[in-house]
């Protein structure tokens, strides 16, 4: 088998972000390698043979110390066995390593030893070896109590709790999409941000408090937007009903209240039976509000199958915010014209629209 990209650990947090970014860039769908294929040198060699780039993400982050150390080494040893069995070795092997490599912990020492195995094997084969030392990753749909403290805090806040900080320390943070870009070879830039655990807990707490009222918190920079989107990924998408204020003159509904920022607001009209959207965003915060007519809004997480459907009406205005990395659309299901208000946190840039075609179903 020949493929341009082969990916281990595709079902995990970082693996999903790599696949979504590859999709947004129009790259061929990666060939994914599961644990059973990793354990079979012949099957693995067939998948790896002649490929352009192998990205090795599969690893063990949590567990008993011996299992973590030995598990990361064994996964790389299995990959090396498959590489050595290839008739035409891959052009490049990229390892999702960690800045903790060699730090005298089971995880760090296991990652360092895994890198040595891959380096020796690729040198013997004549393949390029790219050892990517990644810091603490955060991003949409991370696993609480496993992938990062950010995911844990987001889950606690989404459930109505308060994050607990014990042993405050500084962390170097990188969004998973930025890590994915490095692994895919589309950039060498690693835009890390340093925050303490307490600063993360406090900022996420402010996000949660503001957003519970359907207001948008202050998003001062790129990191804030990505951290907010990470928090939103732990909330189930759903319409949030708005209060209509009416008197003898008519009525008023507050649709978007943004703390410390503006963004862009626009309206569209849609004739009956027509669907708009059919795309997803990597970072854009986007809000839909139907102000007249009847609509169905549909959402689906990219690379997943389940579709969420919400019926909304201008008679009972409600906001529906689009989660990042979820395909979405809106269809006029009424008899008359549909008028929808849209808001996004940034101004539309034709050169970088952050909009990627993807049918919801």
Residue 22 belongs to some domain of the structure: yes
Distance CA 95, CA 79 (A): 11
Per-chain mean pLDDT for the chain:
96
Instruction: Dump pLDDT digits (tens) for 179-235.
Output: 999 999 999 999 999 999 999 999 999 999 999 999 999 999 999 999 999 999 999
Q: What is the CATH number of the domain that holds 149?
A: 3.40.50.720
Task: For 135, list phi and psi in degrees, rounded to 5.
Answer: -80, -160
Taking CA atoms, 201 is separated from 155, 157, 238, in Å, by 12, 9, 25
The confidence score (pLDDT) of residue 112 equals: 97
Query: What is the domain extent for residue 344?
Result: 240-357
Question: Within a domain: residue 167?
Answer: yes
Residue range 5-34: mean pLDDT, rounded: 96
Helix, strand, or coil (residue 253): strand
Q: Are 232 and 219 in contact (CB under 8 A)?
A: no
Q: How many structural domains compose the chain?
A: 2
Give the lowest-confidence range in 155-164, 239-248, 271-280, 320-329.
Answer: 239-248
Are 259 and 346 members of one domain?
yes
Question: Where among 206, 222, 249 does a domain terminate?
Answer: 206
**pLDDT tens-digit profile of 300-313?**
999 999 999 999 99
pLDDT at 72 over 70: yes
Q: How far apart are the first and last CA of the chain?
A: 29
> Is 195 within a domain?
yes
Where residue 62 falls among pLDDT bands split at 50, 70, 90? confident
User: Based on the domain organization, do 53 and 181 belong to the same domain?
Assistant: yes
Instruction: State how far the Cα of 207 lies from the Cα of 201, in Å rounded to an integer.
Output: 10
pLDDT confidence band for 260 (50 / 70 / 90): confident
Residue 235 falls within a domain, yes or no? no
Residue 3 in this model has a pLDDT that exceeds 70: no
Structure confidence by residue, pLDDT tens digits, 157-188: 999 999 999 889 999 999 999 999 999 999 99
Is there a single domain that holds both residue 271 and residue 134?
Answer: no
**Global confidence as pTM:** 0.95
Average pLDDT over residues 54-74: 93
Ramachandran sector of residue 322 (left: φ over 0; alpha: ψ -120 to 50; beta: rest): beta
pLDDT reported for residue 1:
43
What pLDDT digit, counting tens, does each position of 126-155 carry? Answer: 999 999 999 999 999 999 998 899 999 999
Please report the pLDDT score of residue 63 as a whole number. 86
């Amino acid at each position: 088998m020949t493929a341009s990209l082969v990916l281990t650990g595709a079902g995990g947090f970082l693996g999903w972000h790599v696949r979504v970014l590859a999709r947004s860039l129009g790259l061929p769908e990666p060939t994914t390698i599961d644990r059973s294929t990793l354990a079979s040198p012949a099957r693995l060699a067939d998948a790896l043979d002649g490929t352009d780039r192998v990205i090795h993400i599969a690893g063990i982050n949590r567990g008993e110390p011996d299992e973590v150390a030995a598990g990361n080494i064994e996964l790389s040893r299995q990959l090396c066995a498959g590489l050595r069995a290839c008739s035409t070795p891959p052009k490049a092997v990229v390892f999702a390593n960690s800045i903790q490599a060699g730090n005298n912990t089971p995880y760090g020492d296991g990652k360092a030893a895994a890198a040595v195995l891959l380096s020796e094997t690729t040198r013997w084969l004549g393949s390029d070896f790219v050892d990517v030392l990644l810091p603490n990753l955060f991003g949409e749909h991370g696993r609480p109590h496993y992938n990062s403290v950010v995911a844990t805090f987001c889950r606690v806040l989404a459930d109505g709790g308060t994050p607990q900080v014990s042993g405050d320390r500084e962390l170097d943070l990188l969004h998973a999409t930025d890590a994915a870009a490095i692994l895919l070879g589309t950039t060498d830039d690693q835009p890390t941000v340093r925050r303490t655990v307490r600063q993360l807990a406090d900022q996420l707490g402010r996000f949660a408090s503001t957003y519970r009222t359907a207001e948008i918190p202050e998003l001062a920079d790129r990191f804030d937007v990505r951290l907010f989107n990470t928090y939103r990924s732990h909330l189930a998408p759903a319409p949030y009903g708005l209060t209509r204020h009416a008197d003898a003159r008519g009525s008023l509904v507050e649709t978007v209240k943004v703390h410390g920022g503006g963004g862009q607001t626009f309206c569209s009209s849609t004739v009956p039976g027509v669907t708009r959207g059919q795309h997803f965003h990597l970072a854009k915060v986007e809000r839909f509000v139907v102000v007249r007519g009847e609509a169905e809004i549909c959402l689906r997480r990219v690379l997943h199958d389940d579709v969420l459907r919400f019926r909304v009406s201008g008679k009972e205005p409600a906001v529906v915010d689009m989660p990042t990395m979820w395909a979405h659309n809106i269809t006029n299901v009424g008899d008359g014209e549909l008028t929808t208000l849209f808001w996004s946190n940034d101004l539309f840039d034709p050169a970088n629209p952050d909009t990627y075609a993807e049918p919801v179903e």
